[in-house]
Chains A and B, each alone.
Chain A
C-alpha cells in the first residue's frame, strides 16, 4: 500500500524567503506524485505533478518539486515566498487503484 508523509504540520517563513515543504512516499510501484494547495473555504488546486520523465517539475505560482527515487522524496520549493502563498499544502500519491493517498498537510504562514 502507498502512503505519504509530510514532515512538519506548520511552516512559517518571511516574505521573500525560501519555502521548503517536505514529502516522502512509500510505494511498491512507480508512483505518480502531486502537490495540491488549499485556501480557506476552498477545494484543492493542483500545483504540479510528476508522472515520468524529468525529475524536476515546475508548477504554477513559481513552485517546483524534485522527484528523488533513491530518497523516496518529492519536496516542494519556492525561492521567494509571497503573502499569497499562505495556505495548506498537500502531497499526494497515486498508484494503480484509482485513488489518491494524501499526506496530513502542511500549513504555511508568511510573515511580512
Chain B
C-alpha cells in the first residue's frame, strides 16, 4: 500500500512570500501530524489533525497554519516567510493519533533565500 506522500519534495522561496505544503496520508489513516526539522532545533511539533479537527498545536507563530480535508489529506501554510523557516517539513499519519506508530513521508525541503 502506498506510503505517506508529501509534495513538493523541494521548494525555494524568498522572504515575505507564502507557501503551501501538501500531505497525503496512508489510506485509512485519519490522523495527520506535521513536524519541522532543523539542525539547530531538531524535530518540533507543528500541529495534529484528526477528522478535519486540529487537536493540538505546537509553539509556532500564527504564520504557520494547517488544515485537513474530508479525505484526510492535509496542507500546511506558512505566510510571510522568514529565513529561519528554512527546514525539512515532515508529515506523519496514523490511524487515530500519536500513541500509535507514525508513518512519515520523506518531507518537503523548504529553502528561503
Chain B residues with Cβ below 8 Å from A34 are 101-102
CA–CA, A46 to B3, complex, Å? Answer: 13
Q: CB within 8 A of A44: which of B58, B97, B104?
A: B104
Chain A interface: which size bin? 20 to 34
B57-113 contacts to A (CB < 8 Å): 58, 90, 92, 97-99, 101-107
Q: Is the CB of A94 within 8 A of B107?
A: no
Which of these, B4, B98, B105, contacts A100 with CB under 8 Å? Answer: B98
Q: Could you tell me if B43 and A90 are in contact, using CB atoms closer than 8 angstroms?
A: yes
In the complex, what residues of B have CB within 8 A of residue A100's CB? 33, 35, 45, 98, 102
Most buried by A among B98, B101, B102, B106: B98
Contacts of B50 in A (CB 8 A): 98
Task: Give the shortest distance, in Å, between A106 (CB) and chain B (any CB).
Answer: 11
Interface residues of B (CB under 8 A from A): 4, 31, 33, 35, 42-43, 45, 48, 50, 55-56, 58, 90, 92, 97-99, 101-107
Given contacts A43-B107, A99-B45, A99-B98, list 18 more A-B pairs with CB under 8 A: A32-B99, A34-B101, A36-B104, A42-B107, A43-B92, A43-B104, A44-B92, A44-B104, A51-B99, A94-B98, A97-B56, A98-B33, A98-B55, A98-B56, A98-B98, A99-B56, A100-B98, A100-B102
Residues in A lying within 8 Å of B, measured CB to CB: 32, 34, 36, 41-46, 49, 51, 90, 94, 97-105
